[in-house]
């Protein structure tokens, strides 16, 4: 088994790595954007695919990756893991339905509550100790689920049924549908940018470049929030107008 994940602020990376270490100690997880992820999928029978929920949907980069590499999924056993800050409805089901179209076998679905990652929106912000508690509880869930898989071969089916599908669709996805149908060109860089280049190094889509000492954002943002949550000058925003908190798993764990 291997893990493949998209993770903006580290939540999903942590969850996939922890789950994998319990199910199959020593097995490795790779970021979606790494050069070797496709070869690793081709070599493996079973895969944990992890991603953050975005507006009760999968990030467009994950959808695009699945579609562009449509031939590699046939016959693969896939366990879809979706992390979220509040509610996803059928977060795991969104990737599962797409992967089934390419003849993958969906062996399970799991929803994991983690701290919020949207640095420029105040709404879901919690004190550090509350975020820490969320991680502790989720770690306990991962341990329970991982043990059941390792010892009994039983996978959870969260997000996969028709009821979950309806919850995701009507709970949120329908109202925000336009936000998840493609990449966005709405990333803004303020004058406080000093052109340090960190954002362009971090971006999984290579969507930021430094020109004349300032970061310029292109049209292919997948809303992972890695640049926004790490910019040393808090110069980058997307959904909000200013950065309220630079979120990240490492700050709360
Ligand atoms: C653009 C965007 C949209 C999000 N939408 C949702 C959502 O619909 N429901 C939810 O519970 N969390 C939502 N979140 C929160 C993330 O899913 C959550 O914090 C996740 O664990 C982040 O994982 P990461 O650190 O691996 O990127 C959203 C985050 C972003 C950046």
Is residue 218 located within the same domain as residue 156? Answer: no
- Of the three residues 130, 148, 178, the one that is the final residue of a domain is 178
- Answer yes or no: is pLDDT of 174 > 90: no
**Residue 163 pLDDT:** 85
- Cβ proximity of 98 and 218 under 8 Å: no
Domain that holds residue 161: 2-178
**Residue 74 pLDDT:** 98
Residues having CB within 6 Å of any atom of ligand 1: 7-12, 52-56, 83-88, 114, 116-118, 172, 223-225
Find the CATH number of the domain harbouring 68. 3.40.50.360
Is residue 172 located within the same domain as residue 184? Answer: no
Higher pLDDT, 166 or 232: 232
What is the radius of gyration, based on Cα positions, of the chain? 18
Is residue 51 located within the same domain as residue 160? Answer: yes
> What value does the mean pLDDT take over residues 135-163?
96
Higher pLDDT, 124 or 97: 97
Q: Provide the angle, in degrees to the nearest 10, between the axes of the packed helices 91-101 and 60-68.
A: 20
pLDDT category, 162, cuts 50, 70, 90? confident
Contacts of 73 (CB under 8 A, 6+ apart): 41, 66, 99, 102, 103, 104
pLDDT category, 172, cuts 50, 70, 90? confident
- Answer yes or no: is pLDDT of 166 > 90: no
* Interior/surface letters 161-186, b for 16+ CB within 10 angstroms, e for the rest: eeebbebbbeebbeeeeebbeebbee
Tokens matching residue 117: 């990652």
Is residue 118 located within the same domain as residue 163? Answer: yes
- Of the three residues 178, 203, 230, the one that is the final residue of a domain is 178
> What value does the mean pLDDT take over residues 154-166?
91
Is residue 87 located within the same domain as residue 195? Answer: no
Higher pLDDT, 141 or 176: 141
> What value does the mean pLDDT take over residues 42-53?
98
Distance 85 CA to ligand 1 centre (A): 6
Is residue 157 located within the same domain as residue 42? Answer: yes
> How does DSSP classify residue 154?
P
Q: What are phi and psi of 120, to 5 degrees?
A: -105, 20
Find the CATH number of the domain harbouring 241. 3.30.70.20
Is residue 76 located within the same domain as residue 57? Answer: yes
Tell me the HSE value of 237 on the side-chain side, using a 13 A CA sphere. 14
Task: Please name which of 66, 91, 69 lies closest in space to residue 81, comparing C-alpha atoms.
Answer: 91
Is residue 160 located within the same domain as residue 48? Answer: yes
CA distance 129 to 143: 21
Is residue 87 located within the same domain as residue 147? Answer: yes
Please provide the distance, in angstroms rounded to a whole number, between the alpha carbons at the two ends of the chain.
Answer: 26
Is residue 166 located within the same domain as residue 207? Answer: no
How many domains does the chain divide into?
A: 2
pLDDT category, 201, cuts 50, 70, 90? very high
Query: Relative to the CA of 224, which ligand 1 atom is closest?
Result: 31
**Residue 23 pLDDT:** 98
Tokens matching residue 64: 């695009």
pLDDT category, 190, cuts 50, 70, 90? very high
For residue range 84-123, list pLDDT tens digits in order.
Answer: 999 888 899 999 999 999 999 999 999 999 999 999 999 8
Is residue 206 located within the same domain as residue 127? Answer: no
For residue range 203-238, list pLDDT tens digits in order.
Answer: 999 999 999 999 999 999 999 999 999 999 999 999
pLDDT category, 175, cuts 50, 70, 90? confident
**Residue 99 pLDDT:** 98
**Residue 49 pLDDT:** 98
Residues, the chain, total?
Answer: 253
| Burial classification of residue 43, based on how many CB atoms lie within 10 Å of its CB (0-12 exposed, 13-18 middle, 19 or more buried) | exposed
Residue among 3, 4, 52, 112 whose CB has most ligand 1 atoms within 8 A, to mutate: 52
Distance 231 CA to ligand 1 centre (A): 19
Is residue 61 located within the same domain as residue 164? Answer: yes
- Of the three residues 178, 196, 229, the one that is the final residue of a domain is 178
């Amino acid at each position: 088994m291997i893990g493949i994940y998209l993770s903006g602020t580290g939540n999903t990376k942590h969850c996939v790595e922890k789950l994998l270490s319990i199910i199959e100690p020593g097995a490795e997880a790779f970021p979606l954007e790494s050069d070797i992820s496709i070869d690793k999928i081709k070599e493996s029978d079973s895969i944990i695919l992890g991603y953050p929920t975005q507006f009760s949907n999968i990030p467009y980069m994950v959808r695009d990756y699945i579609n562009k590499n449509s031939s590699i999924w046939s016959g693969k056993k896939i366990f879809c893991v979706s992390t979220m800050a509040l509610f996803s409805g059928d977060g795991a089901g969104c990737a599962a339905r797409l992967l089934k179209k390419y003849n993958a076998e969906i062996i399970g679905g799991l929803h994991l509550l983690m701290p919020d990652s949207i640095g420029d929106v105040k709404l879901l912000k919690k004190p550090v100790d509350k975020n820490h508690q969320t991680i502790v509880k989720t770690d306990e869930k991962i341990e329970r689920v991982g043990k059941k898989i390792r010892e009994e071969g039983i996978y959870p089916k969260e997000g996969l049924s028709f009821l979950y599908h309806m919850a995701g669709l009507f709970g949120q996805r329908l109202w925000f549908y336009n936000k998840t149908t493609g990449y966005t060109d709405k990333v803004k860089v303020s004058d406080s940018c000093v052109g340090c280049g960190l954002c362009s190094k971090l971006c999984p889509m290579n969507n930021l470049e430094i020109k004349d000492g300032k970061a310029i954002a292109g049209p292919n943002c997948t809303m992972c929030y890695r640049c926004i949550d790490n910019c040393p000058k808090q110069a980058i925003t997307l959904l909000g107008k200013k950065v309220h908190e630079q979120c990240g798993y490492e700050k709360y764990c």
